[in-house]
Amino acid sequence: MNIQENISLKKYNTFGIDVLAKKFVSINFLHELKEVVSTEKDIFILSGGSNMLLTQDINKLVVHINNKGICIDNQDDNFVYITVNAGENWHDFVLWCVNQNYGGIENLSLIPGNVGTCPIQNIGAYGIEVKDVITKVEALEIATSKLRTFSEEECKFGYRNSVFKNELKGKYIITSVSFKLTKKNHKLNTSYGAIESELIERGITKPNIKDISNAVISIRNAKLPNPKEIGNSGSFFKNPVITKEHFLKLVEKFKNIPSYIISETEIKVPAGWLIETAGFKGKRFNDAGVHTKQALVLVNYGNASGKEIFNLAKKIQEEILNMFEIKLEIEVNII
Ligand code: EPU
């Protein structure tokens, strides 16, 4: 293991924010992680760096989780059970599954980040959440250096949420994630409007999982900025859930407000629409901006600091509160 000093984290976070790590170590094997954790407790865990906004230098030991490996634990005619080490890139894993004709995560194509972080915020897109296919998560407890296996239930998954974002935040390091995927009779989810129309456009009437993955990739490429080209962290805010009364009041003023019914009393409204309606879509303040094609995504055009992006987020939150009386919640971790 090579512990380095004063390392720039620019290439380790998808926002491309240039802050320094006082100390930095990249972990390739579980035994290395155990060794680090047993000697140093004041650590900062960095995985794919795709769901964080770094607003300051990190005066701790930054531990970069980079353990790779995909293992088929078991399979029968219908299902395959796979364990994937935390440092594997998420999209590479999705493509590997699609190529083997393993179904269940094709709708989650092209989501940035690593496998180890997918359970933390229960990544989701186009009608699927990763919790639907996770069977267990293995994680190392920092305090004891002991491994613990979390069942799907123990992960307490919710919308962009899990136990790892709440009561266990900062206490465990996810080392691997296990999935149950289909080998045949795939449950295809094309109900999300954009997928269906994309398939129709491609003349596909009987899609397979590769067709769906390709459709998702092309929808995402058209709407979401590629972090390799423009720094970003996907959706910066969560879609807010408001009461039905509140919604009915808003509809009087904003006739075309989109909505999804959550329950008899609750309605979800897309934050992207609120931000666009408030006039922020495509706005740029120095190198911090709101993406031109999806207002829910904040972007770094090159040299924005984390503080500049955070200030823009606060400005948006204020405006949305004034205009719609809705408190937008930030989805990305602010460091
Ligand atoms: N909309 C606008 N203006 C915008 C963006 C969106 O009016 O600038 C409207 C759209 O017209 C549509 C609605 O908002 O009526 C929903 O937009 P979209 O389908 O793009 O989805 P979203 O709710 O904005 C969520 C996830 C995305 C995921 C997509 C597709 C959250 C916070 N975001 O976005 O996840 O890819 O659905 O399933 O739930 C991420 O979490 O990083 C992410 C990209």
Angle between helical axes of 90-100 and 209-223 (0-180°, round to 10): 150
pLDDT of residue 154: 97
Q: What residues are labeled active site?
A: 160, 235, 331
- In this prediction, residue 153 has a pLDDT band, given cuts at 50, 70 and 90, of very high
* Residue % of the chain over a pLDDT of 70: 100
- Using alpha carbons, select from 277, 245, 232 the residue that is nearest to residue 258: 277
- Using alpha carbons, select from 217, 243, 219, 221 the residue that is nearest to residue 230: 221
Average pLDDT, the chain: 95
CB atoms inside a 10 Å sphere around CB 56: 12
Ligand 1 midpoint to CA 213 (Å): 18
Residues with CB under 6 A from ligand 1: 125-126, 224, 234-235, 238-239, 258, 270, 272-273, 276, 281, 294-296, 331
Domains of the chain plus CATH, in order, are 4-65 (3.30.43.10), 70-223 (3.30.465.10), 231-334 (3.90.78.10)
Mean pLDDT calculated for residue range 124-141? 96
pLDDT of residue 13: 96
Atom of ligand 1 nearest to the CA of 291: 8
Mean pLDDT calculated for residue range 268-272? 97
CB atoms inside a 10 Å sphere around CB 204: 15
- In this prediction, residue 298 has a pLDDT band, given cuts at 50, 70 and 90, of very high
Ligand 1 midpoint to CA 164 (Å): 24
Q: pLDDT digits over 186-213, tens only? A: 999 998 878 999 999 999 999 999 999 9
Mean pLDDT calculated for residue range 62-80? 97
Ligand 1 midpoint to CA 269 (Å): 10
Mean pLDDT calculated for residue range 324-334? 96
Atom of ligand 1 nearest to the CA of 121: 41
pLDDT of residue 97: 98
Does the pLDDT at position 9 exceed 80?
Answer: yes
Ligand 1 midpoint to CA 281 (Å): 13
